[in-house]
Structure 1
Amino acid sequence: MSYVTPLQLAEKPGARELAQVASTEHRAVVDAELMDRTLRGGDRSSYDADDMASADAALARITQVIVETDELMDGYLAARLSLPLASVPLTLTRVARAVVRYELHKDRVTDAKTDPIARDYYDALRLLDAIRDGKVTLGVSDPSSADSPALDVRIESGRKTFGGDELRGFR
């Protein structure tokens, strides 16, 4: 199970940005509407075969970056969590989205102080470090919380050590 899907990427950062960064170099950028339909699995019949091939190539590049991001995140998370996860917490989807977005911007000259894409990427890596080290949980949906025993306090009454019969001798 991937931490982020093409459909989630279509929502944010959006098809226009993805088309700009995932299109084949030295070729026309894939039309944003076609890229959106490709990411969402929508109807593309109104486009010609060359345009659809370009959109498919862009989707293949995005999918490859998603796979690489999944492997990176698994490397961090395997130290603390049992993988694969039954469901992906929203926190991990946000982390994956930041990493995929950064990796797709391969030619971008970045400075984490001024570039939000680079800042989000470095913040995501720091969050993965903190999750791996147990400093941050994944919230209510944290799978590791199911592995740890819940605090269970039980009081059992047993035989009285000093009951009325035992104390009669002291009167």
Structure 2
Amino acid sequence: MTYITATAFLERFGANEIAQRVDRGTPRLVTGQLLTDIAASADLSAYPADAVAAAAVALNLVQRSLNDARDMIDSQIGGRYTLPITPVPAVLERIASDLGRYFLYDDRVTEPITQRYEDAMKLLVAVRDGKAQLGADGVSGEQPSSSAAAELVSGGRVWNRANGSAFL
């Protein structure tokens, strides 16, 4: 399960931007509308077969970047939260989209995309370390369940019978 769907990812950043990124061919066969339609499993009969095939490859690239984002999130917060996290909090959806976009732009990353990636990673580290919370799901208001339990750590024994004879 990914933390953001391909359709929501396309809506967040604009299908045209993502289509330009995933279709590097000349001429470009994948349009933003075609990518949106294939992600939503809409009727594709109006499109040429070669464009539909190119869009299927493009959608696989988008899905792979979202899966990479999911794996990164899970590796960071898996020790604190029970995975998969359902319902997905809005902040986690945003983090997944920023990471997915960064992974999609792997060799042509711009400064704003890099900054959003770094901010997302800082937030994930803060969540992992218990300094930030994921928050509630925007629709249901439900908090994700944490698997982190209270832990007591001690510096060792201060007194025992063998070395405590002077105290009595």
Contact 2:38 2:44 in 1 (8 A): yes
Q: Does structure 1 residue 70 correspond to structure 2 residue 66?
A: no
2:112 aligned to which of 111, 116, 121:
116
TM-score (norm 2): 0.78
Contact 2:79 2:148 in 1 (8 A): no
Contact 1:80 1:144 in 2 (8 A): no
Change (3 A) 1:11 1:109: closer
Q: Does structure 1 residue 9 correspond to structure 2 residue 5?
A: no
Unaligned runs of 5+ in 2: 137-141, 151-168
Root-mean-square deviation (CA, aligned residues, Å) is: 2.0
Following superposition, the deviation at residue 109 of structure 1 comes to 4.9
Alignment of 1:1-171 (within 5 A): 1-23=1-23, 25-29=24-28, 30-110=30-110, 115-140=111-136, 141-144=142-145
Letter in 2 for 1:16: N
Aligned length: 144
Following superposition, the deviation at residue 118 of structure 1 comes to 1.2
Contact 2:15 2:35 in 1 (8 A): yes
Contact 2:80 2:146 in 1 (8 A): no
Following superposition, the deviation at residue 57 of structure 1 comes to 0.3
Q: Distance in 2 between matches of 1:107 and 1:83?
A: 30
Q: Deviations over 1:29-86 (max 9, x none)?
A: 3122211211222221100110000000000111111111111110011121111122
The structure having more radius of gyration, on CA atoms, is: 1
Contact 2:4 2:93 in 1 (8 A): yes
**Aligned sequence identity (%):** 37
Q: Distance in 1 between matches of 2:144 and 2:21?
A: 34
Structure in which a larger fraction of residues adopt helix: 1
Q: Distance in 1 between matches of 2:109 and 2:101?
A: 14
Letter in 2 for 1:119: Q
Contact 1:10 1:40 in 2 (8 A): no
Runs of 4+ in 1 over 2 A off after TM superposition: 25-29, 144-149
TM-score (norm 1): 0.77
Q: Distance in 1 between matches of 2:100 and 2:62?
A: 8
Q: Deviations over 1:75-129 (max 9, x none)?
A: 011121111122111110000000111111122254xxxx221111110000000
Q: Could you say what secondary structure the match of 2:43 adopts?
A: coil
Unaligned runs of 5+ in 1: 150-171
